[in-house]
């Protein structure tokens, strides 16, 4: 099946990108591999026939947020000797894996307890802009307004934080 092959390819790419994020020492390389993860997740959303979220993932996550992070990393001009010394990084990583594996096996056990539904065929309009927009502006109107308030708070906070003049010593 074509969809299974695509799923395996996108899943492998996203896991590889995530591993690159936590293994690369320089944050620029980590951000590049996180972009790989974001784009392959967008492909997975397209496989799940979530058209609007697919587009939003590409534009908002892989486009806006990641370019903001890359811009800040380039703006700070991080050299190799600016990076924190992480000598015992692989030791910490081994310890972290030892902590994570019980949690992960617990979560996977929960997932396996769920009923595995067959692949159903959804209608042509599933996940389109119009359908999601109708739900967003009817059932989810109050959370939508609260999110707009949150974005306003973030805007004001970012201006207050980053626009502050440095005190003269």
Partner 1 sequence: MIHDYLILSVILFCLGILGVITRRNVFTVFMSIELMLNAANLAFIVFSRVHESMDGHVLAMMVMAVAAAEAALALAVVILLHKHKGKLDTNVFSLLKG
Q: What contacts 39, CB < 8 A, 6 or more positions away? A: 58, 62
Rounded least distance, CB 68 to partner 1, Å: 6
- Among 47, 67, 69, 64, CA closest to 127: 47
In whole angstroms, give the CA distance from residue 136 to residue 143: 9
Task: Report the site for partner 1 in 45-64 (rule: CB under 8 A).
Answer: 45, 48-50, 52-53, 56-57, 60-61, 64
Task: Report the site for partner 1 in 122-151 (rule: CB under 8 A).
Answer: 122, 126-127, 131-132, 135-136, 139-140, 143-144, 147, 150-151
Among 2, 124, 142, 162, binds partner 1 (CB under 8 A): 162
Tokens of 73: 């990393």
Task: Report the site for partner 1 in 61-80 (rule: CB under 8 A).
Answer: 61, 64-65, 68-69, 72-73, 75-76, 78
Does residue number 39 form part of the binding site for partner 1 (CB under 8 A)? no
Rounded least distance, CB 115 to partner 1, Å: 9
Rounded least distance, CB 37 to partner 1, Å: 7
Alpha-helix runs per DSSP H in the chain? 2-23, 27-47, 51-56, 66-76, 89-113, 129-138, 141-162
Among 6, 36, 44, 58, binds partner 1 (CB under 8 A): 44
Among 117, 124, 142, 169, binds partner 1 (CB under 8 A): 117
Rounded least distance, CB 124 to partner 1, Å: 13
Among 2, 80, 124, 164, binds partner 1 (CB under 8 A): 164
In whole angstroms, give the CA distance from residue 50 to residue 48: 6
In whole angstroms, give the CA distance from residue 153 to residue 149: 6
User: What is the SS3 assignment for 65?
Assistant: helix
Tokens of 58: 């590409």
């Amino acid at each position: 099946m074509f969809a299974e092959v695509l799923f395996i390819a996108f899943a492998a790419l996203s896991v590889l990108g995530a591993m690159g994020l936590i293994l690369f020492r320089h944050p620029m390389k980590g951000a590049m591999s996180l972009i790989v993860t974001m784009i392959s997740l967008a492909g997975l959303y397209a496989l799940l026939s979530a058209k609007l979220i697919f587009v939003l993932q590409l534009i908002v996550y892989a486009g806006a947020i990641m370019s903001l992070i890359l811009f800040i990393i380039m703006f700070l001009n991080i050299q190799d000797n600016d990076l924190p010394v992480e000598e015992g990084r692989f030791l910490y990583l081994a310890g972290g894996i030892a902590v994570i594996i019980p949690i992960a096996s617990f979560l996977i056990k929960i997932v396996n307890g769920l009923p595995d539904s067959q692949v159903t065929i959804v209608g042509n309009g599933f996940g389109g802009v119009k359908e999601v927009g109708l739900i967003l502006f009817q059932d989810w109107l109050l959370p939508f307004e609260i999110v707009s308030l949150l974005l306003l708070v973030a805007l004001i906070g970012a201006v207050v934080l980053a626009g502050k003049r440095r005190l003269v010593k």
